[in-house]
Amino acid sequence: MTDVLIRKEGKAGRITLNRPDALNALSYDMCLKIDAALIDWADDDGVALVLIDAEGDRAFCAGGDIREIYDIGLSGDPTRAQNFWRDEYRMNARLFEFAKPVVSLMQGYTMGGGVGVGCHGSHRVMARSSRMAMPECGIGLVPDVGGSLILAGAPGHLGTYIGTTGARLAPGDAIHAGFADHVIPQAEWPALIDTLVATGTPDVILEAAIPPIPGNISALQPMIDAHFGKDTLAEIVASLKAEDSQFSQNALEQLARNSPLSMAATVRMLRQLGRTEDVRKALELEYRFVFRALTHSDLIEGIRAAVIDKDRSPNWKHGLDGPLDDALNGDVDAMLAPLGDNTLTF
C-alpha cells in the first residue's frame, strides 16, 4: 500500500495521506514524495489548486514518524534524521510559499508534522471534531515544521502557552491561534472535494464554512498573557507558582510533564522570532535544535517514555522543581547556536 497518494484529478493536484492505521504519521519517504509533487505542479497549468486530505477518521496526521527517528537515534548516526528534518522543512517552506491555492481538509488529530503539511496552505479546513496540537515538548523536541512561526504570530502570548504545554485545540481555538481558517462539517467534504476538483477554485469553501464555536483556551487569554508573556521559562514558572489559582495549578501540571530543555528553548525561539512572517527564518531556527536533538537533547528519552516503553516517566536532563539555573540556559544557548556549514538552506 502506498503511504501517500499523489495524482491529478480535474483541475486539482491531489495529495492524500494513506497510513490510517498509523494515524497517517509522516515518514521521510512521504515528505520527499509530497515535495516532488509540489515542484511538478508549480508550473503545471493543468493544476489550478492543490488539495491535501487523509484517509481514516481518527487523524489527518498525528505527527512525524517518531519511531523511525528513535531507531535512527539508537544507531548512533543522526545523519538520516538530520536529512529527514532538512527535507521535511524544505517541503514545509514550499507549501507556505506555494503560488497557487493550497486547500487542506484536517479531520481528527493534526499534530506536529501534520501541522507542517496541513497548516501552511491558503485554505485550512477543520471538522467540528478536529483537534490540533504541537506536543513536541512532551517528547523532548521543540515545535517545528514551521509551527514556531504560527505560535509566534498567535494573539498575545497564546503561542507560548500552546507550545510549552502541548495543549490540544478545538477548532475555535485553532482558528483563533492561526492554525486553521474554517470549519466545515465533515459530512459535506465529499461534495466539497468534487467541486474543488471540477472548478479549480477554492471559492466554495467560504460558502460552505460555518461559524466555529468559541474555544475554552481563547477564553483564558488574559491569564495566559499575564503568565506566559514572561521572557523565560523560569520566569513563567515563577509567575505561575506565585498565584494560587486553578489556572496556575493546571498550567504547572501540564508543564511538569514536558522537557524543561525543550520548553525553555521554545520560549527563547518564540521571543527571538517575534511577529515575523518569514517561514524560512522560523524553520532555520528550528533546525538548529533538531540537528542536535538526537545527541544533545531529551528526545530519545522522551520517545522511549511516550511510545516505546510507554511508562510516561521520562528522566529529563533538567527539572522544574528546583531553580531553573544557568545550566539550563547554557544548554538552550548550545541547542540554538548557529550551525555554520550545516545551516538549513532552501
Query: Hey, which residues are catalytic here?
Result: 64, 113, 136, 144
With a CB cutoff of 8 Å and minimum separation 6, the contacts of 159 are 150, 151, 152, 153, 177, 270
Please report, as a single letter, which amino acid is at residue 292: R
**Contact assessment for residue 47 and residue 6, using Cβ atoms and an 8 Å cutoff:** no
Strand-strand pairing, 12-17 and 59-61: unpaired
Question: Is the distance from CB of 215 to CB of 135 less than 8 angstroms?
Answer: no
What residue type is assigned to position 139 of the chain? I
Compute how many other C-beta atoms are within 10 angstroms of the C-beta atom of residue 75.
Answer: 12
Cβ neighbour number for residue 252 with a 10 Å cutoff: 17
38: cell is: 509540489
Helix (H, G, I), strand (E, B) or coil at 77: coil
d(CA 150, CA 172): 15
Q: Which residue has the cell 507556505?
A: 96
The residues, any chain, with a CB within 8 Å of residue 55's CB and separated by 6 or more, are 16, 17, 18, 19, 20, 24
162 within 8 A of 151, measured Cβ to Cβ: yes
The amino acid present at 211, given as its one-letter code, is: P
